[in-house]
Amino acid sequence: MNIRLATEADLPGILDIHNDAIRRLDAIWTEAEETLEDRRAWLQDRENNGFAVFVAEKDGEILGHGSYGTYRSRSGYNKTVEHSIYLREDAQGQGIGTALMEAIIADAKAKGFHLLVAVIDSKNTGSIVFHERFGFVNMGTLPQAGHKFGRWLDQVNMYLILNDDPAP
């Protein structure tokens, strides 16, 4: 298994994982599946803004992806980034999410980002425990912050401070 930066050739594999999560999970709070063009624009946006998209690949297959990007757009937030990691169902629980998270943290640190934020559905205890393992702090739950499949969803926010840099 290889963790590396994503290329355009990886987009079909990334799209499959993304749309599967939209269809099945209380994650990615939309019921609208994406097209390859949508994912291409997303990858270009992340690359053009100096962020990163990583994939986990084995024997030419994309097992998962992890990336980070804009948290909020105003300039005062430009040292904060929000990340996400999604694995194919059959690739979970084998350390691949850990490898992607390590790549995200290392890349964001190297580029001087200060705060990494995770936004998680409150019922996704697997993801919450996963983030705790990296030292992410659970800062609480925003109730009924979103909806999907006709139900309100509660949002857990977790954060990890990446360095002790002074404010710019």
Ligand X SMILES: CC(C)(COP(=O)(O)OP(=O)(O)OC[C@H]1O[C@@H](n2cnc3c(N)ncnc32)[C@H](O)[C@@H]1OP(=O)(O)O)[C@@H](O)C(=O)NCCC(=O)NCCS
Chain contacts with ligand X (rule: CB under 6 A): 21, 27, 84-87, 92-98, 120, 124, 126-127, 129-130, 133
Distance, in Å, from the CA atom of 6 to the CA atom of 103, rounded to the nearest integer, reads 12
Closer to ligand X by CB, 14 or 120: give it.
Answer: 120
Closer to ligand X by CB, 74 or 151: give it.
Answer: 151
**Least Cβ distance, residue 124 to ligand X (angstroms):** 5
Return the HEC string of the chain: CEEEECCHHHHHHHHHHHHHHHHHCCCCCCCCCCCHHHHHHHHHHHHHCCCEEEEEEECCEEEEEEEEEECCCCHHHCCEEEEEEEECHHHCCCCHHHHHHHHHHHHHHHCCCCEEEEEEECCCHHHHHHHHHCCCEEEEEEEEEEEECCEEEEEEEEEEECCCCCCC
Closer to ligand X by CB, 126 or 166: give it.
Answer: 126
**Least Cβ distance, residue 6 to ligand X (angstroms):** 16
**Least Cβ distance, residue 146 to ligand X (angstroms):** 13
**Least Cβ distance, residue 144 to ligand X (angstroms):** 18
Closer to ligand X by CB, 29 or 77: give it.
Answer: 29
Closer to ligand X by CB, 129 or 167: give it.
Answer: 129
Q: Which residue is nearest to ligand X (CB)?
A: 97
**Least Cβ distance, residue 152 to ligand X (angstroms):** 18
